[in-house]
């Protein structure tokens, strides 16, 4: 029988993990529900060589509704963040993003909601949400929303730098940029 060294075992178990969704079957909600988001601890009980970590979560076929026409709006949503003490649990993020399916809101407001809800869930040092909404009527809307923790000079510098140097598609994954 093979043994696993303690270096390879995750310390994220038991009470430190969310209990609502992880490892359980859930019913998908297609109405906006920010309470679906769950956080897990980041780097608890371990000594890492670096604390510099970027996390990217990409939702490639996000759907919400136009608040005026009720027609579906399709987008690719890119979420980039520097965690503090918590990460968003990926299954809860998937279910949360799916909950926008029947939610009517403007593209810019959808990205602001996602940003605000993720900040409340995990309290990151820095977070950005980029929405690449498909064109309707020959106009594509690509909102870019940012957050930096108050009092965190490094996060504030990142916010200023990325905002000043932003161009559409710049902070999306390389494989995606080739398709723009």
Q: Is residue 2 part of a domain?
A: no
Helix (H) or strand (E) holding 116: helix 107-122
pLDDT of 6: 44
Per-residue pLDDT at 41 exceeds 70: yes
Mean pLDDT over the full length of the chain: 85
State the residue range of the domain holding 70: 28-44+53-177
Q: Rounded distance, CA 39 to CA 106, Å?
A: 27
Which tens digit of pLDDT belongs to each residue from 62-93? 999 999 999 999 999 999 999 999 999 999 99
Which tens digit of pLDDT belongs to each residue from 137-161? 888 899 999 999 999 999 999 999 9
Burial class of 116 by CB neighbour count within 10 A (0 to 12, 13 to 18, 19+): middle
Active site residue 66: yes
Out of 73, 76, 111, 117, pick the active-site residue: 73
Q: Is residue 8 part of a domain?
A: no
CATH of the domain at 113: 3.30.1130.10
Stretch among 24-28, 58-62, 91-95, 150-154 having the lowest mean pLDDT: 24-28
- Other beta carbons within 10 angstroms of residue 68's beta carbon come to 8
pTM reported for the whole predicted model: 0.81
pLDDT of 4: 40
Confidence of residue 15 (pLDDT cuts 50, 70, 90): low
Domain count, the chain: 1
DSSP letter string over 22-52? TTS------S--GGG--EEESSTT---S---
Q: Is residue 73 part of a domain?
A: yes
Q: Rounded distance, CA 149 to CA 27, Å?
A: 34
Higher pLDDT, 175 or 58: 58
Burial class of 75 by CB neighbour count within 10 A (0 to 12, 13 to 18, 19+): buried
Q: Is residue 65 part of a domain?
A: yes
Q: Is there a contact between 75 and 46 (Cβ–Cβ < 8 Å)?
A: no
């Amino acid at each position: 029988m093979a043994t696993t060294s303690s270096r390879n075992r995750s310390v994220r178990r038991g009470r430190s993990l969310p209990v609502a969704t992880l490892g359980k079957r859930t019913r998908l909600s297609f109405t906006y529900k920010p309470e679906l988001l769950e956080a897990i601890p980041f780097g608890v009980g371990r000594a890492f060589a670096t604390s510099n970590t970027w996390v990217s979560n990409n939702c490639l076929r996000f759907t919400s509704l136009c608040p005026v026409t009720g027609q579906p709006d399709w987008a690719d949503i890119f979420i980039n963040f520097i965690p503090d003490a918590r990460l968003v649990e990926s299954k809860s993020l998937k279910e949360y993003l799916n909950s926008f399916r029947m939610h009517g809101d403007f593209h810019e407001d959808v990205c602001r909601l996602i940003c605000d809800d993720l900040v409340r869930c995990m309290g990151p040092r820095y977070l950005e949400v980029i929405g690449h909404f498909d064109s309707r009527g020959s106009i594509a809307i690509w909102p870019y929303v940012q957050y930096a923790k108050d009092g965190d000079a490094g996060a504030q510098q990142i916010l200023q730098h990325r905002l000043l140097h932003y161009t559409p598609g710049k902070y999306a994954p390389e494989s995606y940029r080739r398709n723009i």
